[in-house]
A and B are shown apart, each in its own frame.
Chain A
Amino acid sequence: MSVLISKEKKVKNKEFHPNILCFCCNWCSYAGADLAGVSRFQYPSTIRIVRVMCSGRVDPSFILEAFKDGIDGVIVTGCHIGDCHYLKGNEFARDRFERFQKTLKLFNLDKRFRLEWVSASEGKRFAEIITEFTNQIKELGPLRLI
């Protein structure tokens, strides 16, 4: 069964169909993704969302884990700065990932990672960001770790 899925993808998409991990915080960006759904804003079926309570929960180690597994891109989303349901979780996330981005750069992975803020009323923006990030990963091609 599992083999079937990956085959399906290959047959249907001669083009590269990236696998992207997307973290959403429960309060804003997950709600934004819901609104994209409710409003039927279409975006590429490349992301798999993992819901966490706050972007401040996302440990950089998760991102490394994802790349190690061969996931082509990771996007972390949260509330806009100032809107975090837990006051500053997203500020901590921002600081951590700014530093982390430098580490990723050493491995040439920085373009495969993104941090974005999406509010509960930005369904459209959510769809746009995903579309855009997908295109970016497509440009880069499949992740190959040496």
Chain B
Amino acid sequence: MEKIGAILVIGGGIAGIQTAIDLADSGYKVYLAESTTSIGGVMSQLDKTFPTNDCAICILAPKLVQTGRHENIDILINSSIEKIEGTPGNFNVDLTQRTLLLDHNKCTGCGLCAQECPIEAIDFFNEKLSNIAAISVKFPQAVPLVFSINKEKCIGCGICKGICKAKAIDYELQNELISLNVGAVVLAIGFDEYDPTPLTQFGYGKHLNVITSIEFERILSASGPHSGLIIRPSDGIIPKKIAFLHCIGSRDRKHRIEYCSSVCCMYTAKEAVIAKEHMNIIEPTIFTMDVRAYGKDFDKYIERAKDEYGVRYIRRRISSIKEIPESKDLKVYYETGNGKIIEEIFNLVVLSVGMQPNHKAKELARKLNIQLNEYGFCKTETFAPVETSRPGFYVCGAFAAPKDIPETVIEASAAAGCVNVLLSEARNKLVSKKELPVELDVSNQPPRIGVFICHCGINIGGVVNVPSVVEYVKTLPDVVYAEDNLYTCSADTQTNIKEKIEKNQLNRVIVASCTPRTHEPLFQATIREVGLNKYLFEMVNIRDQCSWVHMHEPEEATAKAKDLLRMSVAKASQLIPLQEQEITVINKGLIIGGGVSGMSAALNLASQGFEVFLIEKEEILGGFANKIYRTLENDDIQEYLKDLIKNIENNQLIQVFKKAKINSISGYIGNFTTNVTYGNNNKNVDLEHGIIIVATGAKEYQPKEYNYGKDQRIIPQTEFENILFTTDKVKTLNSIVMIQCVGSRNEEHPYCSRVCCSEAIKNALKAKEINPNIEIMILYRDIRTYGFKEKYYNLARENRVIFIRFDEKNPPELNIKNKNLKILINAQDLGELEINPDLIVLSTGLVAPIKENEDLAKMLKVPLNEDKFFLEAHVKLRPIDFATDGIYLCGCAHSPKDLRESIAQSNGAAAQAVKILSAEKIVTSGLVATVIEENCIGCGSCLEVCQFNAIELIKTERTFEDITMTIKKSHVNPALCKGCGTCGVQCPNSTIIIKHFGFEQINAMISALLVQD
């Protein structure tokens, strides 16, 4: 049957959004079905995100807007799936779009109706903490920005209908049945927050001042019920002492929720930190069992929470909470190590609720014939992390398992990567090109500048006096229009900006808000839609450079904002339209690293028909996976690896270079050249390719601790695994001690290696299987069996594996006396212990190969983080890309992760790469250098500094009277030029124009820095 180049994505949270964008960018039509009235999901409700404390809506809003305006994405809000029939590649979908009682094509989102509506309804977006009108929009940055009527509440008075200028409201509108034909389906329905009402010991729902973490998140939010003021529900007083309780609805076998929700430890730390930041008098205390800060840079965040923000951690589970009737304060009871019950009084208790399967999961699974796992999440396999049980149906995000935003984004791209493989032959069949109006010629017009200044909720407006900045800007030369916005990046503001440009005939636009590094493309696209060249835009960062770094000096911050705007206006007057360049793409990929990640990415690309060069430094493929036999879930890794390698080696499109070394990498997106030496005879080749995927992995830490290397009875976990799976030796042993966090979470490696806890438990279980009488003790700091791995932690304890916790300041000590191994440990609750094992197994962490990574990073011109892992473009929303175009990242090169996660990320990297590889041409930036030839003396200094071979000296013959001379003139190739501007400084005649950053533009900013009296 013919394959259809369209995809249905179910669920419009960050997972669905990312998949939709990835697929729409790769030449497919995407239908994004969302059950509520706006896309954005839970992320849009969050205040800040860990571990960077980025404002969630700030980084999400550009994605929402991008999705909303994408020509290949149709958003179907308020819809639910009826049935899907067909075969992979060709499905027929029936879905119902429920009526909003207004025509969403007509609604402009102006909000007049909501102001006039006499009826109050509950605001679910604010977690029922406030009320809104019965006709309302989900949240201010909603996409699409349409209102809807709450049917239950509406009394049909008709006020809104009368007042709506767009004539959008129509009480008679009925539900609509929509039929679609798609090639694949991606399920991204997300999760539900756990409702803690059944846990009566905490009194949620009974005690007013016991709230959930998501409610607290809304309270923290600037756009939340109290505009970011932290006040407690009972009396509106600022709660000084706040207790956070971990694992509510997680790791709770009594209530049959065995798994760990993976994100609560981190979001709780974040909420505690942000609360403290909002109001310094707040004293947060976190009650926890283990602190599971297993992700990239998470441990550092926890350390900062403790040290800098004074967040108190207490390792206890709370047994019960009592309300003090008069004050509504809460008495919290917990047990100490020696069995004493302690009571402490708090003003507010926040329950860190876990992630539950979406309440619609069961029904949807039944309708779609998809299997769920034992916990009610979508069932997937380790080696196919985004595939459901039904072919042609994929899954990503929290519907597959509890996870955080970056992992969700990774999986979303991975799902897109797998869909690519299924549907590549149908690519570009159903897409249309976005029609943009012809660019207006403004070159001869005097500047007419419009300025839009963002409050960013209270992120800017809370410190900078925005209205006074607006008034000030209006007095500046060439400014014909200025206004302030609550969120300049929201969809409605984009429409507003466009209207204002047209109405005021603006020909230069300035936005003063956050950083151009994330938001410039959005605003550039906006002004382009009304015919302005995108380079007639300037951005001023009054958030990161004013309100956030001068939080306690509002006047200074305001004065600085005015100065920065004055400088920006001066530059904007000097801006000119720039032209972009089209370049052809070499449709081949280069993948560095032949481990599971690199191979998975290679196969993904090759199965879409793209040629791949796979570079491996060792003699064999497989990398670290060669050392492990089974996953925690007991999947056979060696079997899988064998198949994978066979598929790679049999694939005509994949060329493998073993024992290979990269000598140099040059070029740019679409056109890279890499020089490689490989093989036993050190052959040398130049490879040409359009993209690069970095999959270089990590390596095992070589312990300096515990006499390692000097005694054969002290071995690392991988060696123990080898013994377990290839010998019987364990039968002869009586007792084993495993020591966790060797070479992790210390000063040298201040991060968690993520996999060691699971590896230890896996091997402990295997050892018990071989020799049930063996005594195994695992000495640990925190057991980090996140997600569904928790099951195996429980299993290990049931199998009488003994877990003993130690404090990082007091690690276990090794003594060897008369050839006997002796471990001394100060166990937290048990006091001093002495153990005499036969074997000591060290759970050594994963470390970055420092030298190799540094060399490669230099050649690629991409950054490393402090721990020497590769640093992605954005920790939260761009976990697979680098800031440099055309280079992507996957596997342990990014940070330690397990096989399932590595495979997901490599498919995600392939999805990003295919956006480029599948395009014949890509457009490069207009920010380049250009030579004014008349003044060029042909000295060639510019050539010497250009690192991209973008400049040529062109000889021409000129005849003056009778004499013919050859003269040389520099010429810049705009496809090769990167716009760094170094040549412009080098030129002795100052005759190279660095577009957008020219002499006039920068000098204008400098002379505007000081107020001219």
List the interface of chain A (C-beta within 8 A of B).
1-3, 5-6, 8-9, 12, 19, 21, 26-28, 30-31, 33-43, 45, 48-54, 56-62, 65-66, 69-71, 82-89, 92-93, 96, 119-121, 127
Complex alpha-carbon distance, A66 and B1005, angstroms:
10
Q: Please name all residues of chain B whose beta carbon is closer than 8 Å to the beta carbon of A50 when the two chains form the complex.
A: 567, 1002, 1005-1006
* B128-136, B491-499, B714-722, B863-871: which lies at the interface: B863-871
Interface size on B, residues (CB 8 A): 63
Q: Decide: B550 and A38 in contact? CB cutoff 8 A.
A: no
Q: Decide: B517 and A34 in contact? CB cutoff 8 A.
A: yes
Q: Decide: B515 and A34 in contact? CB cutoff 8 A.
A: yes
Q: Decide: A53 and B979 in contact? CB cutoff 8 A.
A: yes
Tally of A-B Cβ pairs under 8 angstroms: 171
Q: Please name all residues of chain B whose beta carbon is closer than 8 Å to the beta carbon of A89 when the two chains form the complex.
A: 947, 980-982
Q: Decide: A42 and B550 in contact? CB cutoff 8 A.
A: yes
Nearest CB to that of B515 among chain A residues? A34
Complex alpha-carbon distance, A60 and B984, angstroms:
12
Q: What are 20 A-B contacts defined by CB distance under 8 Å?
A: A2-B475, A8-B559, A19-B1010, A21-B1006, A34-B517, A37-B541, A37-B549, A38-B53, A42-B550, A48-B1009, A52-B997, A52-B1002, A56-B981, A56-B982, A69-B1010, A71-B1009, A84-B861, A85-B861, A89-B981, A92-B982
Q: How far is the CB of B595 from chain A (nearest CB, A)?
A: 26
With contacts A34-B544, A40-B549, A48-B567 known, is A5 near B982, CB below 8 A? no
Q: Please name all residues of chain B whose beta carbon is closer than 8 Å to the beta carbon of A84 when the two chains form the complex.
A: 861
Complex alpha-carbon distance, A56 and B53, angstroms:
31
Q: How far is the CB of B1004 from chain A (nearest CB, A)?
A: 10
Complex alpha-carbon distance, A42 and B277, angstroms:
13
Complex alpha-carbon distance, A56 and B813, angstroms:
53
Q: Please name all residues of chain A whose beta carbon is closer than 8 Å to the beta carbon of B708 when the two chains form the complex.
A: none
Q: Decide: A33 and B544 in contact? CB cutoff 8 A.
A: yes
Q: How far is the CB of A115 from chain B (nearest CB, A)?
A: 14
Q: Decide: A127 and B927 in contact? CB cutoff 8 A.
A: no
Partner of B984, one of A3, A21, A34, A59: A59
With contacts A6-B1011, A34-B541 known, is A1 near B884, CB below 8 A? no
Q: Decide: A66 and B1006 in contact? CB cutoff 8 A.
A: yes
Q: Which of B53, B549, B986 has the most chain A CB within a 10 Å cutoff? A: B549
With contacts A52-B1002, A89-B980 known, is A120 near B871, CB below 8 A? yes
Q: Decide: A121 and B865 in contact? CB cutoff 8 A.
A: yes
- In chain B between 376 and 390, which residues have their CB closer than 8 angstroms to a CB of chain A? none
- In chain B between 497 and 517, which residues have their CB closer than 8 angstroms to a CB of chain A? 515-517
Q: Please name all residues of chain A whose beta carbon is closer than 8 Å to the beta carbon of B550 when the two chains form the complex.
A: 42, 45
Report the 3 A-B pairs with minimum CB-CB distance, sorted nearest first: A37-B544, A57-B981, A56-B982
Complex alpha-carbon distance, A94 and B1009, angstroms:
25
**Given A56-B945, A62-B1006; 20 other pairs, CB 8 A cutoff:** A2-B1011, A12-B556, A34-B517, A34-B541, A38-B53, A49-B541, A50-B1005, A51-B516, A53-B979, A57-B994, A57-B997, A65-B1003, A66-B1006, A69-B1006, A85-B861, A86-B947, A88-B947, A88-B982, A92-B945, A121-B863
Q: Decide: B863 and A119 in contact? CB cutoff 8 A.
A: yes
Q: Please name all residues of chain A whose beta carbon is closer than 8 Å to the beta carbon of B948 when the two chains form the complex.
A: 86
Q: Please name all residues of chain A whose beta carbon is closer than 8 Å to the beta carbon of B543 when the two chains form the complex.
A: 37
Is there a chain A Cβ closer than 8 Å to B727's Cβ? no
Complex alpha-carbon distance, A33 and B563, angstroms:
17
Q: Which of B53, B556, B884 has the most chain A CB within a 10 Å cutoff? A: B556
Nearest CB to that of A39 among chain B residues? B53
Is there a chain A Cβ closer than 8 Å to B821's Cβ? no
Q: How far is the CB of A28 from chain B (nearest CB, A)?
A: 8
Q: Decide: A38 and B981 in contact? CB cutoff 8 A.
A: no
Q: How far is the CB of B1003 from chain A (nearest CB, A)?
A: 6
Q: Which of A19, A38, A71 has the most chain B CB within a 10 Å cutoff? A: A38
Nearest CB to that of B859 among chain A residues? A87
Complex alpha-carbon distance, A69 and B1003, angstroms:
11
Is there a chain A Cβ closer than 8 Å to B952's Cβ? no
Nearest CB to that of A66 among chain B residues? B1006
Partner of A2, one of B277, B884, B1012: B1012
Partner of A1, one of B472, B515, B982: B472
Nearest CB to that of A37 among chain B residues? B544
Nearest CB to that of A126 among chain B residues? B549
Complex alpha-carbon distance, A37 and B621, angstroms:
44
Q: Decide: B1012 and A45 in contact? CB cutoff 8 A.
A: no
Q: Decide: A42 and B947 in contact? CB cutoff 8 A.
A: no
Q: Decide: B980 and A85 in contact? CB cutoff 8 A.
A: yes
Q: Decide: B567 and A6 in contact? CB cutoff 8 A.
A: no
Partner of A33, one of B545, B979, B1013: B545
Q: Please name all residues of chain A whose beta carbon is closer than 8 Å to the beta carbon of B1005 when the two chains form the complex.
A: 50
Q: Decide: B1011 and A127 in contact? CB cutoff 8 A.
A: no
Q: Decide: B559 and A121 in contact? CB cutoff 8 A.
A: no
With contacts A62-B1003, A62-B1006, A65-B1006 known, is A45 near B559, CB below 8 A? yes
Q: Decide: B555 and A12 in contact? CB cutoff 8 A.
A: yes
With contacts A49-B545, A120-B871 known, is A92 near B985, CB below 8 A? yes
Q: How far is the CB of B288 from chain A (nearest CB, A)?
A: 24
Q: How far is the CB of A109 from chain B (nearest CB, A)?
A: 15
Q: Decide: B1006 and A3 in contact? CB cutoff 8 A.
A: no
With contacts A1-B475, A83-B863 known, is A69 near B544, CB below 8 A? no
Nearest CB to that of B884 among chain A residues? A85
The proximity string for B residues 963-983 relative to A, scoring 1 for CB distances below 8 Å and 0 otherwise, is 000000000000000111110
Partner of B563, one of A40, A42, A48, A127: A48
Q: Decide: A92 and B1006 in contact? CB cutoff 8 A.
A: no
Complex alpha-carbon distance, A60 and B865, angstroms:
32
Q: How far is the CB of A120 from chain B (nearest CB, A)?
A: 6
Q: Please name all residues of chain A whose beta carbon is closer than 8 Å to the beta carbon of B564 when the two chains form the complex.
A: 48-49
Is there a chain A Cβ closer than 8 Å to B557's Cβ? yes
Complex alpha-carbon distance, A125 and B176, angstroms:
57
- In chain B between 762 and 791, which residues have their CB closer than 8 angstroms to a CB of chain A? none
Q: Decide: A57 and B865 in contact? CB cutoff 8 A.
A: no
Nearest CB to that of A65 among chain B residues? B1006
Partner of A86, one of B472, B541, B559, B978: B978
Q: Decide: A69 and B1009 in contact? CB cutoff 8 A.
A: yes
Is there a chain A Cβ closer than 8 Å to B551's Cβ? yes
Complex alpha-carbon distance, A59 and B985, angstroms:
5
Q: Decide: A38 and B999 in contact? CB cutoff 8 A.
A: no
Is there a chain A Cβ closer than 8 Å to B427's Cβ? no
Q: Decide: B858 and A82 in contact? CB cutoff 8 A.
A: yes
Q: Please name all residues of chain B whose beta carbon is closer than 8 Å to the beta carbon of A65 when the two chains form the complex.
A: 1003, 1006-1007
With contacts A37-B549, A85-B861 known, is A54 near B1013, CB below 8 A? no
Is there a chain A Cβ closer than 8 Å to B434's Cβ? no
Q: Please name all residues of chain A whose beta carbon is closer than 8 Å to the beta carbon of B701 when the two chains form the complex.
A: none
Complex alpha-carbon distance, A33 and B1012, angstroms:
27
Q: How far is the CB of B1001 from chain A (nearest CB, A)?
A: 10
With contacts A9-B559, A56-B981, A71-B1010 known, is A31 near B517, CB below 8 A? yes
Q: Please name all residues of chain A whose beta carbon is closer than 8 Å to the beta carbon of B548 when the two chains form the complex.
A: 37-38, 40
Is there a chain A Cβ closer than 8 Å to B92's Cβ? no
With contacts A26-B517, A83-B863 known, is A96 near B985, CB below 8 A? yes
Partner of A52, one of B277, B475, B545, B981: B981
Q: Please name all residues of chain A whose beta carbon is closer than 8 Å to the beta carbon of B1003 when the two chains form the complex.
A: 62, 65
Q: Please name all residues of chain B whose beta carbon is closer than 8 Å to the beta carbon of A70 when the two chains form the complex.
A: 1010
Complex alpha-carbon distance, A84 and B861, angstroms:
7
Nearest CB to that of A57 among chain B residues? B981
Complex alpha-carbon distance, A142 and B553, angstroms:
22
Q: Please name all residues of chain B whose beta carbon is closer than 8 Å to the beta carbon of A45 when the two chains form the complex.
A: 546, 549-550, 553, 556-557, 559-560
Q: Please name all residues of chain A whose beta carbon is closer than 8 Å to the beta carbon of B871 when the two chains form the complex.
A: 120-121
Q: How far is the CB of B454 from chain A (nearest CB, A)?
A: 14
Q: How far is the CB of A101 from chain B (nearest CB, A)?
A: 16
Q: Please name all residues of chain B whose beta carbon is closer than 8 Å to the beta carbon of A8 when the two chains form the complex.
A: 555, 559
Complex alpha-carbon distance, A89 and B997, angstroms:
15
Complex alpha-carbon distance, A43 and B517, angstroms:
21
With contacts A31-B517, A50-B1006 known, is A57 near B982, CB below 8 A? yes
Q: Which of A39, A71, A87 has the most chain B CB within a 10 Å cutoff? A: A87
Complex alpha-carbon distance, A45 and B978, angstroms:
32
